[in-house]
Amino acid sequence: MSNKAKGSKAERELYELFVQNNFRAVRVAGSGMMENTACDLIAGKASENGKHKYAIEAKSSKAPVKYITKEQIESFIVFSEIFGLTPVVALRFNHEGWLFINPHQLRDSGKNWVISLDEAKNIGMKFSQFFNSSDNNVQQ
């Protein structure tokens, strides 16, 4: 399976996770392949506390460390701000399930932003923790 196919499979899995939790979600066509497609999914949900809208950048890795270019994260944050969406990085390391973080929690490695599996386990949250708790968890 190609890296593109693996990424698409992870995005579909993440999309289903949002739908199963009563969010409205869409996968962004051409994400990562075309200009101006700076996120993988857009998801939202209305609740008693208002509307919650997110831009999601999905990253999966079989390695214990994930590197993301600074340019990609910068574009992702700008895209999120333009549309009034809260940016969220969704991470899936093999056999660990999804963990969610604010992009500002990534560590600067010089050329890239980086996060290790151990860091993700310490600062990341599972879906229900991240999206069903107070918005303080996802604010920039």
Tell me which residues are annotated as active site: 31
What are the strands, taking DSSP E only, across the chain? Answer: 24-27, 41-47, 50-61, 65-69, 86-93, 97-101, 107-108, 112-116
- The values of phi and psi at residue 25, to 5°, are -145, 150
Going from the C-alpha of 125 to that of each of 3, 77, 104, 131, the distances in angstroms are 25, 20, 14, 9
